[in-house]
């Protein structure tokens, strides 16, 4: 099935009322069990289910209006870079009716394209804003499927707290969607350690393709990810933080190992990334309950409980602490 066919099939369910303006916010999300690899690139269907946690007020706010003669795409108050605008316009092409144009104004509270899931919150916010503007009246699960087409991880940014993205089995992708789940963990904290806010030289889509096509380690990745997914669900239900942290960190390291075994090797780490990882390991050996995860970028996301906040802040004064369930 082609992407446009999939969109048209979903559009048959639309039953809302259009507006003159759509506005929405979506949080960034950090994958604890990663999405890395597609079984269908056209529809962004993953090779494994994934699990994430949202970052509260860190994310994207988007306003969408109709435009007269051409799309206008703005990022943080300025005309967006050409590649960014082209990606947004290509996505809007899926929903146009005749000679219809849009003005899209996006504000990110996290760095763009730096491995902090800005594309996830960006496409999730855009889909929610379009839902209001065009009057689709879709559920969050339906919107997650539309967001998935723009950026796979965006499917999970429709939800606060924990979210899962079901890989699905159907070839048409109609059973591959995300949903939130009710488990909260009020003591859980995420700490952002920003190493670099520069644009990635190799985007996630290109990185996934290279890994799948050339990495000998990739064959084992889907089974490992499924095992990690199950263990994380168990750890969350039991509030077992050591199991939770260990599984999330191990999953991240396994994903990056598959990338490094690709050719040419794909390494998103910078020297400071490795230094910070070693500091976490050293602190844990010293008795601090502290773990990390990483997406496709150089920045670390620390995982710890509120009782460890003072110790984490002392070790990493520059950390930005997020309370996902505040």
Q: What is the pLDDT along the chain (326 residues), one digit of tens a residue?
A: 899 999 999 999 999 899 999 999 999 999 999 999 999 999 999 999 999 999 999 999 999 999 999 999 999 999 999 999 999 999 999 999 888 999 999 999 876 544 455 789 999 999 999 999 999 999 999 999 999 999 999 999 999 999 999 999 999 999 999 999 878 899 999 999 999 888 788 988 899 999 999 999 999 999 999 999 999 999 999 999 999 999 999 999 999 999 999 999 999 999 999 999 999 999 999 999 999 999 998 999 999 999 999 999 999 999 999 999 98
CATH number, domain with residue 232? 3.30.70.890
Let me know whether 8 and 136 are in one domain: yes
Which helix (H) or strand (E) segment holds residue 179: the answer is strand 178-180
Outline where the chain has alpha helix (H).
Answer: 3-11, 82-92, 118-134, 140-150, 204-214, 221-238, 241-260, 271-285, 309-315
Nearest to 57 by CA among 143, 154, 125: 125
The b/e string for 151-187 (b: 16+ C-beta within 10 A; e otherwise) is bbbbbbbbbbbbbbbbbbeeeebeebbbbbeeeebee
pTM, rounded to two decimals:
0.93
CATH number, domain with residue 112? 3.30.230.10
Let me know whether 168 and 196 are in one domain: no
Out of 138, 153, 180, a domain closes at: 180
Let me know whether 140 and 157 are in one domain: yes
The pLDDT assigned to 112 comes to: 52
Let me know whether 127 and 264 are in one domain: no
126 HSE (CA, 13 A, CB side): 32
| Residues 6+ positions from 204 with CB-CB distance below 8 Å | 119, 153, 296
- Structure letter (DSSP) for residue 200: P
Q: What is the domain range of residue 241?
A: 188-322
What is the C-alpha separation between 103 and 89, in angstroms, rounded? 10
Contacts 24+ apart (CB under 8 A), 275-282: 276/193, 276/195, 276/300, 276/316, 279/315, 279/316
Out of 180, 200, 233, a domain closes at: 180
Nearest to 109 by CA among 326, 320, 323, 325: 320
Instruction: Tell me the two tokens of residue 107.
Output: 């504000």
Let me know whether 172 and 207 are in one domain: no
The pLDDT assigned to 271 comes to: 97
What is the C-alpha separation between 297 and 239, in angstroms, rounded? 28
What is the C-alpha separation between 185 and 162, in angstroms, rounded? 9
Let me know whether 151 and 167 are in one domain: yes
Let me know whether 145 and 167 are in one domain: yes
Let me know whether 10 and 72 are in one domain: yes
Out of 180, 206, 235, a domain closes at: 180
Counted domains in the chain:
2
| Residues 6+ positions from 206 with CB-CB distance below 8 Å | none
Let me know whether 206 and 134 are in one domain: no
Let me know whether 205 and 95 are in one domain: no
Let me know whether 134 and 18 are in one domain: yes
The pLDDT assigned to 115 comes to: 46
DSSP notation for 8-65: HHHHTT------SEEEEEEEEEEEEE----EEETTTTEESS-EEEEEEEEEEEEEEEE
Let me know whether 145 and 210 are in one domain: no
The pLDDT assigned to 255 comes to: 97
């Amino acid at each position: 099935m082609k992407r446009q066919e999939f969109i048209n099939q979903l559009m048959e369910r639309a039953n809302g009322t259009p507006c003159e303006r759509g506005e929405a916010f979506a949080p960034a999300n950090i994958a604890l069990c990663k999405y890395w690899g597609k079984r269908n690139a056209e529809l962004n269907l993953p090779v494994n289910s994934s699990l994430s946690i949202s970052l509260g007020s860190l994310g994207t706010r988007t306003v969408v209006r109709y435009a007269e003669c051409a799309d206008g795409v703005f990022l943080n108050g300025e005309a967006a870079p050409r590649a960014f605008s082209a990606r947004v316009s290509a996505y809007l092409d899926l929903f146009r009716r005749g000679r219809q144009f849009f003005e899209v104004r996006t504000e990110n509270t996290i760095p763009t394209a730096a491995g902090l899931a800005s594309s996830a919150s960006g496409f999730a916010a855009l889909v929610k804003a379009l839902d209001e503007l065009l009057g689709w009246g879709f559920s969050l699960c339906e919107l997650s499927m539309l967001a998935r087409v723009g950026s796979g991880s965006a499917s999970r940014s429709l939800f606060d707290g924990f979210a899962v993205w079901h890989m699905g089995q159907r070839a048409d992708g109609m059973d591959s969607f995300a949903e939130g789940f009710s488990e909260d963990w009020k003591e859980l904290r995420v700490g952002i350690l920003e190493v670099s806010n520069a644009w990635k030289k190799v985007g996630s889509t290109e990185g996934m393709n290279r890994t799948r096509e050339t990495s000998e380690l990739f064959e084992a990745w889907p089974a490992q990810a499924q095992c990690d997914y199950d263990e994380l669900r168990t750890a969350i239900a039991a509030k077992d933080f050591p199991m939770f942290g260990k599984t999330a960190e191990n999953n991240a390291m396994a994903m990056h190992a598959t990338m490094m075994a690709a050719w040419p090797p794909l390494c998103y780490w910078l020297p400071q990334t490795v230094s910070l990882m070693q500091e976490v390991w050293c602190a844990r050996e010293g008795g601090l309950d502290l773990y990390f995860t990483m997406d496709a970028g150089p920045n670390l996301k620390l995982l710890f409980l509120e009782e460890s906040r003072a110790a984490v802040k002392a070790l990493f004064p520059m950390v930005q602490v997020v309370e996902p369930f505040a």
